[in-house]
Amino acid sequence: MRLKTLLTSLALLAVSLVPAQADDLEAIKKKGTLVVGVKDSTPPFGVLNPKTQTISGYDIDFASAIAKRLGVNILVKAVDSSERIPKLQKGEVDMIIATMTKNAEREKQVDFSYGYFITGQKFVVRKGKVNTLEDLTKATIGTAKGSTSEKQLRKEMPNANLVLFDDYDEAFKYLGQGKLDAVSTDEPILAGLLNKMPNKAQFEIPNVTISIEVYGVAVRKGEKALLQEVNNTLLDMEKSGEAEKIFDRWFGPNTSAPLMRTFRITAK
């Protein structure tokens, strides 16, 4: 009997020594601030104002809505494409809202919300140079390293010469200087950056698509409570019309990257 009691005590002690499962939702509410990783050079999703040193854009508006829902302040931190998952896993940010495409490989590392933006991967090229994907088979194409755009190009265009950059601003500089045949990523990102080019009249986005991309909010694996709050917020934003207003603010007819909203935020 004494042995049984001793073993039971040891088992209880061992359980008590195991650290409790982290709860990011509780931790965020306790500190009163939601830290979100965003892009700062990908208009209109996220762009840095050099005068105020603040970041604004479509993704930041969604981050702000989620923070408001949680009843906390918001702090945004700029992240490159290749940094998004590492910074989330290291705890440097609480979530990522940074034009991050949901896919099976990433879902092994993080948990994603419902899609809050749907688009397709296209190209910016010199006018009249590209009519079909075959025209780019052996082209020199720039994109962001660590992005799904890079992976999709390697899969669909194995004979193309890829040049990788930390951000798309640098890629567009090379394109404008004639060092690239094309830059490839999701259409709204291309449209926003094309509008900033000093010689933009010489370039276009042809109707050539190689993939469909669904952006999701990424949280750490297993953070079910936080993910549920994010998903509920997204659905409520769609229902109330707030999500559509944000889309119109950044992609409406009078913006620098006008697009049609052909999707709705749904529970899937």
Per residue in 236-253, pLDDT (tens digit) is 999 999 999 999 999 999
List, for residues 100-119, the tens digit of each pLDDT value. Answer: 999 999 999 999 999 999 99
Q: Same structural domain for residues 193 and 233? A: no
Minimum mean pLDDT range among 10-24, 94-108, 199-213: 10-24
Q: Same structural domain for residues 80 and 27? A: yes
SS3 at position 38: strand
DSSP lists the bridge partners of residue 41 as 47
The structure tokens 């940094």 sit at 83
- Domain coverage including residue 100: 23-116+216-251
Task: Give a yes or no: residue 202 inside a domain.
Answer: yes
Q: Same structural domain for residues 54 and 127? A: no
Q: Same structural domain for residues 233 and 162? A: no
pLDDT score recorded for residue 22: 58
Q: Same structural domain for residues 231 and 106? A: yes
pTM for the model: 0.81
The structure tokens 């950059």 sit at 165
**Residue in 217, 231, 225, 233 with CA at minimum distance from that of residue 26:** 225
What CATH number is associated with residue 70?
3.40.190.10
- Give me the phi and psi of 221, to 5 degrees please: -55, 135
Q: Same structural domain for residues 69 and 131? A: no
Q: Same structural domain for residues 40 and 100? A: yes
Q: Same structural domain for residues 108 and 235? A: yes
Q: What is the mean pLDDT of residues 82-92?
A: 96
pLDDT score recorded for residue 256: 84
Task: Give a yes or no: residue 44 inside a domain.
Answer: yes
Task: Give a yes or no: residue 129 inside a domain.
Answer: yes
Q: Where are the beta strands (DSSP E) in 107-198?
A: 110-112, 117-126, 140-144, 161-165, 182-186
Question: What is the domain count for the chain?
Answer: 2
